[in-house]
Structure 1
């Protein structure tokens, strides 16, 4: 099977969808009969590009102000797609938002419906294009891949499609997420002034739906000696309306018990994940929640809400709290500090839960969807 994958998103700093695509491409390389061609917006390649660092923008701020900039870029991409290797492929897989036009079978990965629930997370012009093109693309797709059953159910209701059009292919975790010895973690942890299992960790783009404000407030409610012994480290780049977090962040940073680390290289994130007392993932909407899986695979207990797809990922290994309940989150954090037996049980449960997920499994289900769409 000659498969075209739209890999343009890999030119941007890698967050959830970028990591999904990079890992999927690598895993599909081990699937028999699958040959990939990666379209990067202006041409084709057989190799993954290097990940960009923050500050990269696929459309410059100046171009965003030009009427029709998104449509013009889209038209140019479509032309490059049509003029290139698209003529020789059997199936086109669009892994992010809306697909380019293709006369053959098309598969779309729908990670979530964030643009429906949180439309202001997108620039206005981009949102308009999503709303104009996504529904048409989804309805024309031979099959729609989703990361979770929750999103499959939500998309069926929203688009009015039957369950036979959907294939759930849960995500996996990269090999860098695994338990590590305290000794191996020391260089990175010392650079950030923390000890193994001596800090809480938040990972994710800084934006309102991630609910980071609640984590900051809960940490601030802990007794002073606990905050001093277990500071809160925040990893992620600024997203939509990150300024809403300013007051809470300013208070935490001023206290010396919160450290904002920004966007870090993948290996550093993996080491911080393996060394944390717990991952706090207070998000109120996720199509999967990849950091939850990565933390469990690293031997780190997870604190999260029972919202959207996240219970599918954490299962019984999760330490759940109500997303609006400050004291509930405080209690969960306190128990993971005070009760070593409970902490160890959560660690072991998470390691077992993580074994249910892998990129090989995701690639196998994806390749099976390719064959199904091609009539195999």
Structure 2
């Protein structure tokens, strides 16, 4: 089976969907009887790019400012997609919201419905394009993959599609997310002025849906001595409407107890996750919540909200709080700092829960979905 996978997103710094495409593509290489071709937006390749194409990040502001930019880019990509298919393709897999036109079987991955629940987290031009294209993409796809049962259920309800069109393929954690001994981390963490187990970590793009303001407020309520001993680190790119965080973030940064790290290379992020006392993930909506799984696989306890798909991922290993409960989050953070017995129990529960997920399993389910779409 010859499969075309749209891998254009790999030109950008790899956040959630980019990690999905990269890890899934690597895992699919081990599936027998499957030949994968990657479309990079302007051409084709059989290999994953090692890093983001320089200058890609300058494209998004341009897309927001220029009228019709999304439509123009799509027209160009469609032409490249059609012209560059030198070999025949049996099936096309679109890992994001709007498939290109293809005259054969299409599989689409729907990661979440963020644009419905939090439309203000999308630039207006992008939101308009999602609303214009998503329905047609859902109709085009013979099989719709989702990362969680939660997303499959809400998509079935919203679009009125039959259950057998959906296949749930949970994500996995990359091998770099694994438990590490303090001695393995000390040297690299020392460069950041950190010690293993001596900080709390948030991972996520700075945008309203991630609810990072709650983490900042809860951390500010910890005793002064604990804030000094366990600073709060935030790793992630600037997102849409980041400006709403400016006041609270500036106060937190000025206190010296919060550090904004920005986007980090894969290995650096994996080290920070493994070395954290806990991952604090108060998101209001996730189609999966990959940082939660990555933290558990690293032996790092997680504090998270009981929202959307996240309980499917964390299961009994999660320390759950309400999305608006700043005092509940403060208590959960405090307990993981002060109660070593509770911390160890959460660590072991997280490691056990993480074994239920893998990219190999995701690839096997995806390959079966391909065969289903082909009618086999």
The alignment's TM-score, normalised by the length of structure 1, stands at 0.97
CA–CA distance in 2 between the matches of 1:291 and 1:250? Answer: 25
Corresponding position of 1:36: 36
The answer for the alignment partner of 1:148 in structure 2 is: 148
Alignment of 1:1-376 (within 5 A): 1-52=1-52, 56-57=56-57, 59=59, 61-62=61-62, 64-85=64-85, 88-376=88-376
The structural deviation recorded for 1:178 is 0.2
Partners of 1:68 and 1:206 in 2: CA distance: 26
Is the Cα–Cα contact under 8 Å of residues 281 and 304 in structure 1 kept in the other structure? Answer: yes
- Which one is further off, 67-76 or 207-216? 67-76
Distance 1:66 1:275 in 2: 43
Relative to 1, partners in 2 of residues 1:78 and 1:54: Cα closer, same or farther, differing over 3 Å?
closer
The CA deviation at 1:58 is 6.8
| Deviation (angstroms), 1:162 | 1.2
8 A Cα contact 2:171 2:290, kept in partner: yes
Q: Per the alignment, do residues 331 and 54 of structure 1 end up closer, same or farther by CA in structure 2, a change over 3 Å counting?
A: farther
Q: Is the 8 A contact 1:200 1:276 kept in 2?
A: yes
Deviations along 1:349-372, whole A, 9 cap, x unmatched? 000000000000000000000011
The answer to whether the 8 Å contact 1:54/1:237 transfers is no
8 Å contact from structure 1 (residues 287, 309) kept in 2: yes
Give the number of aligned pairs.
376
Distance 1:62 1:331 in 2: 43
In structure 2, do the counterparts of structure 1 residues 235 and 161 end up closer, same or farther at CA, with 3 Å as the change threshold?
A: same
The DSSP-based 3-state class of the residue aligned with 1:234 is: strand
Deviations 1:87-115 (A, max 9, x none): 60000000011100001000000000011
Can you give the 5+ residue segments of structure 1 that lack an aligned partner in the other structure?
none
CA–CA distance in 2 between the matches of 1:241 and 1:263? Answer: 17
Q: Which has the higher mean CA deviation after the structures are superposed, 155-164 or 66-75?
A: 66-75
CA contact (8 A) 1:176 1:270 kept: yes
CA contact (8 A) 2:11 2:53 kept: no
Gap regions ≥5 residues in structure 2: none
1:145 deviates by 0.1
Deviation, 1:248, is 1.6
Distance 1:163 1:122, change over 3 A: same
3-state SS of 2:299 partner: coil
Cα 1:68–1:86 change in 2 (3 A) is farther
Tell me the SS of whatever aligns to 2:273: helix
Report the more deviating stretch, 238-247 or 107-116. Answer: 238-247
Q: Give the Å deviation of 1:116.
A: 1.2
Distance (Å, rounded) in 1 between the aligned partners of 2:48 and 2:58? 17
Report how far residue 122 of structure 1 moved.
2.4
> How many angstroms apart in 2 are the aligned matches of 1:53 and 1:280?
31
Q: CA RMSD in A?
A: 1.4
SS at match of 2:59: coil
C-alpha displacement at 1:120, in angstroms? 2.5
Q: For 2:54 and 2:282, locate their aligned partners in 1 and report how far apart those are by CA, in whole Å.
A: 23
Q: Deviations over 1:178-216 (max 9, x none)?
A: 000111101221111121111100011011110000000
Query: Helix, strand or coil for the counterpart of 1:30?
Result: coil
For 1:230 and 1:66, locate their aligned partners in 2 and report how far apart those are by CA, in whole Å.
Answer: 44
Specify whether residues 328 and 204 from structure 1 end up closer, same or farther in structure 2 by C-alpha distance, changes over 3 A only: same
**SS where residue 194 of structure 1 aligns?**
coil
